[in-house]
Amino acid sequence: MCAWVVLSWPWLSGSVTIPFDAKAHFQAQIQFLAQALHSGQSPFWTHNVFGGSPQVADPQSLIFSPAILLALISPSPSFREVDVYVLLHLLGGGLGVLMFARQRGWHPAAGLLAALVFAFGASAAWRVQHVGQIASFGFFGLSLWLTARMLDRGTIGAGILAGLAAGFMVLEPDQVALLAAYVLVGMVVAHWLSGGMASLRASVKPIAAASIAGLAVIALPLLWTWLFAEASTRPAVDIVEAGRGSLHPLSLITAFVADLFGARDPKVDFWGPYSPAWHAGELYLSQNMGQVYAGALPFLLLIAPGLSRGWLWDRAIRPFSIMLLLMVLFALGRYTPFFHFAYEFLPGIKAFRRPADATFLIGGLGAIVSGYLLHRLLSEEKPVAILREVAVALAAALLIAGLSLLMASQRGHFADALVPSLSAVGWAVASLAVLAVIARRRGLAAPLLASLLVCGLVGADLAVNNGPNESTALAPELYDVLRPETRNETVALLKTLTAQPAGSPRRDRIELLGMGFEWPNAGLVHGFDHTLGYNPLRLAEFSAAVGTRDSIAAPEERVFTPLFPSYHCRLADLLGLRFIASRVPIGQVDRGLHDGDLRLVARTRDGYVYENPRALPRAMFVSGWQMADFDAMTTTGQWPESDPRQVVLLESEPPMASPQGAGPGRGEVRLTRYRNTQIEIDVSADRAGFVLLNDIWHPWWRAEVDGVPAEILKANVLFRAVQVPAGTHKVRFSFHPVEGAIAELRERVEEKLEPQSEVATAPGRGPSGSPATRLGLEPPEPRQLPVEDQRAASPRFQ
């Protein structure tokens, strides 16, 4: 606990904050969650990014994580509070490993070593900004202990606890959770193999209880996530794209030489395998993702006595040694055949894009294995000939340091690698000295002395080599725009410009065009509706039509489409995209604009703010209708000849048939209620027509007209329309994720059961994949920025 406080203190004190994804994505998500709960709203849908998105189905929305507790406590969680929330997962995982060691009867110094390395080694330290994966990893530590406890005790109660922990581990489904689940399965299989039929029979009831408890936690959230993913821009990742997220074999050297490539030293331009000098187009990892340093002592223990005496193959630790090796092979991705095997045959692997995510498990399993080796070393009845092991480990350390310098010299970076290599040797010497001392002491005070020395040495090692750096700790002021109380003039201006009186049918959208890495999800914090955002999961139909990518940090990341070829287009007007804030003059991004298409409203310290005077209201009454082929429109960008203020385009006939074409009717609409999951519109019209809501269509929304259920028609490619008779009516839209997901699942099952020739193609999707895929609008191959531009756009830290 003390070591956790000391190693976490830079963040706990508030002097630095966890940057990049932790702020640009997850801070905004938690802020939205807190504001929704404290304003009496549901957080299950947001209008603030990508034209609308089902938060309840987004695994990164944190709704089903312990973050819900922070959101309930604080209406506006601060940067420090969110950082503490993240670091508490590492504390919980470390304590789980400590309890695992205690249950196995390990030497206390060995348990401390395993806990410290688990919580602050490898990706647990270097990728702390990936909040969801940190949460999965923390729960993995607890699940590891509770699964071992379940197998040892064989009780139903122990099984329920293990199942709950594993359920929370995979509740935010990511590749760390998936691989950790395979590790837990491996533990169970190893238990059966070692104990035979007797152990299998004894574990049936607790495992059944664990399965029921786990499924109770994850069933509905995983159904939502699966349906969302199927309709998203990334229903699966092909093996070529996944291979670009492989760990380069030479990155394994950082297991001993911590900062060999300059990932931590801001004075050194990163020169490792993911830099431009190393064929950057072949691999796409940021520099921190290749760091696997977990301390000198754990690494040397794997060599001697782990390899030198064969203790890695001890029956007690053999399953973990095997799984550690498999995780290394998996992380190497395209460089070994194992990843290709896993991709083809292990369920779930095709859903994720980075085999290098296995570095979390390399650190976690390395912690367990090295802890066991120290335990055996200190628990042998007859003291081990420690000097022999020290000599072997020291020789290995010198050899690796020498090879590192040789490789650096060949690439012209000898001077950059010299200090890290000498530092690695220094930590190795200190570790071996401590090992020699504690291995020879056998008195009553020896466990206490060993625990203090190991904790002090490993804690200092990890603090120096895995401590705060430009990947994991930056000044909080850099993310001021994500504070609800920010005084940023651009945010204040946009809030003023988009404010509307009560009942107005307008709710203008904005676009934050290349304003910086921290800007795309600012709408979640400040309540304005952004056409784009920052999220790897986005609804495919919206992405195909509008041209979204994972983020919009830089102006050149804006992608135009056939249906959205310019900011002067019908789709921009229907979206109600009225204001565009850009870091550069808009003409540098949209070459199709002419004088007068957009009006410059203001120039702020952040950039330029433009107005689209043609932007339409969010709610409209339209009397006429016309059939249209939305797929063809998305592909060609050709709209039928019609006035969007008089005619709504539909892909199927409306329930109350009427002649196609523009009608003479007039109507007035008032947007009387606009909440996250509830929208109410009052309409008065002299003839029948359609209430058009320019919010993205989604199958989980339901509508009522004067309290009577009504069909929501997909309108104008992306939006919602409800047919209403003449007169005065109240139209109510509400979001029903449970009912909607079950209905969608039922439709999918029925389609599977029908003969293939009779299965209708779902609107907006064809046999060739998502609309984004058919149009070639999936994110292109990642572009490696010059070193001097990396800090600005931050792809190296994503």
Tell me phi and psi for residue 441, to 5 degrees: -85, 130
pLDDT at 792 over 90: no
User: 370-403: buried (b, 16+ CB within 10 Å) or exposed (e) per residue?
Assistant: bbbbbbbbbeeeeebebeebbebbbebbeebbee
Pick the more confident residue, 757 or 447.
447
Structure token digits, residue 249: 């074999």
Structure token digits, residue 745: 């699942």
Q: State residue 435's pLDDT score.
A: 94
496 pLDDT band (50/70/90 cuts)? very high
775 pLDDT band (50/70/90 cuts)? very low
Averaged confidence pLDDT in the chain? 92
Place of tokens 């006429």: 624
Residues 504-541 pLDDT 10s: 999 999 999 999 999 999 999 999 999 999 999 999 99
Q: State residue 280's pLDDT score.
A: 54
**C-alpha distance from residue 10 to each of 82, 125, 266 (Å):** 14, 13, 18
**C-alpha distance from residue 721 to each of 351, 571, 763, 783 (Å):** 34, 16, 16, 40
Q: Residues with Cβ < 8 Å from 126, sequence gap 6 or more? A: 263, 288, 289, 291, 293, 466, 471, 472
Structure token digits, residue 376: 């055996």
AA letter at 703: A
Q: Residues with Cβ < 8 Å from 567, sequence gap 6 or more? A: 577, 580, 586, 590, 593, 597, 598, 610, 612
**C-alpha distance from residue 303 to each of 110, 207, 260 (Å):** 16, 36, 20
Structure token digits, residue 209: 């209880």
Q: State residue 665's pLDDT score.
A: 77
How large is the average pLDDT for residues 262-285? Answer: 86
- DSSP H helices in 332-472: 337-345, 359-379, 386-410, 414-440, 446-465
pLDDT at 73 over 70: yes
Structure token digits, residue 543: 């992405």
Residues 208-255 pLDDT 10s: 999 999 999 999 999 999 999 999 988 889 999 999 999 999 999 999
From 540, 538, 463, select the one nearest 768 (Cα to Cα): 540
pLDDT at 477 over 70: yes
**How far is it, in rounded angstroms, from Cα 124 to Cα 128?**
6
pLDDT at 770 over 50: no
284 pLDDT band (50/70/90 cuts)? confident
pLDDT at 771 over 60: no
380 pLDDT band (50/70/90 cuts)? confident
Q: State residue 793's pLDDT score.
A: 40
**How far is it, in rounded angstroms, from Cα 81 to Cα 789?**
31
Q: State residue 756's pLDDT score.
A: 52
Residues 168-202 pLDDT 10s: 999 988 999 999 999 999 999 999 999 999 999 99
Residues 253-265 pLDDT 10s: 999 999 999 999 9
Percent of the chain with pLDDT over 70: 94
Residues 642-697 pLDDT 10s: 999 999 999 999 998 787 877 777 899 999 999 999 999 999 999 999 999 999 99
765 pLDDT band (50/70/90 cuts)? very low
pLDDT at 278 over 90: no
Residues 405-414 pLDDT 10s: 999 999 999 9
Q: State residue 755's pLDDT score.
A: 61
Whole-structure pTM value: 0.92
Residues 148-165 pLDDT 10s: 999 999 999 999 999 999
Q: State residue 790's pLDDT score.
A: 36
**How far is it, in rounded angstroms, from Cα 666 to Cα 648?**
14
Q: State residue 758's pLDDT score.
A: 43
AA letter at 525: V
How large is the average pLDDT for residues 3-13? Answer: 98
Residues 603-654 pLDDT 10s: 999 999 999 999 999 999 999 999 999 999 999 999 999 999 999 999 999 9
Structure token digits, residue 416: 């950059």
Structure token digits, residue 767: 């046999």
766 pLDDT band (50/70/90 cuts)? very low
Cβ atoms 83, 18 nearer than 8 A: yes
Long-range contacts for 740-749 (Cβ within 8 Å, ≥24 apart)? 740/698, 740/699, 740/700, 740/701, 740/702, 741/57, 741/220, 741/223, 741/224, 741/227, 741/700, 743/699, 744/227, 744/699, 744/700, 745/223, 745/227
